[in-house]
Amino acid sequence: MLVRETLACIGRKCCMFAPQMALERFRLEGKVAIVTGAGSGIGRATAEVLAEAGARVVLAARTLAKLEATKAVITSKRGEALAVPTDVNSANALDELLRAALDTYGRLDVLINVAGGSPPTVALAVTDDEFDAAFHFNVTSAFHLSRAAAPHLAASGAGSIVNISSSMSHVVDRGFVAYGTAKAALNHMTRLLAHEWAPKIRVNALAVGATRTEALAFVTAMEGVEAGMVSKTPMGRLGEPEDIALAALYLASPASAWVTGQVLAVDGGAPGSVWPFPIPSGLE
């Protein structure tokens, strides 16, 4: 009887404390994170979420004023952030970013490669230079920073890299050959680095669907466009930057300690492209 009562008591205590313990695995106290593209959109939301989870966040983007705005939000909530103006297309700038993070905080635990993009362009009109530029912006820059950061992430004992990719890496539509190809390469780079750097560093990616950012706002501002995109999205709405940021927090935190080499789709369940405009191939 005593044994049964004791076990029942233990069971009740487990029920009481397990949820809190589980939530603690999403915390990032004592951790340092670099977030590129942190001046707006997904990058800004991700930086704010990581800071709310307890991380000290190094903010990188080209425009200092935008970085300072992100930093102001974080510090207003008693978080800590460092703004480092950075052009991710510059290898020297990426090296300076990493140096600033280490000089200020002495460690690095998380790297979120958000910066990237490329405008839709008919394949026949894409020049070699434009194709190379899309690859460099979306893949090479993330690789350079990941490679430079790797020894420091490994030294932390539980380093994590999260690459922000796109659903266009695995769905098709006209006009996205440069962008989609680059993001597909980013996905496989994620898998290859995860395999090579395990178990010291986990590397994952998010394949992001149509999300309300400044770039998308130029499209959705047109009458009827957003409704058409939403109609192709099973969840019945476009994504918000916070939707992506929360997924990034999961992959960055100890909550995903047994997850690496994965490309997680955060796209509202869209089975294909939701791009609203038909783009001619030029071969008609």
Beta-bridged to residue 35, according to DSSP, are 59, 112
Alpha carbon separation from 181 to 134, 171, 187, 267 (Å, rounded)? 9, 11, 10, 18
Token readout for 33 is 């994170």
Where is 251: in which H helix or E strand?
helix 241-252
Q: Cβ distance 47 to 70 under 8 Å?
A: yes
The answer to whether 250 is a known catalytic residue is: no
Q: One of 135, 137, 176, 179 is an active-site residue; which one?
A: 179
**DSSP assigned state of 136:** I
Helix (H, G, I), strand (E, B) or coil at 59: strand
Token readout for 132 is 């190379």
Helix (H, G, I), strand (E, B) or coil at 84: strand
Q: What are the residue numbers of the active site?
A: 179
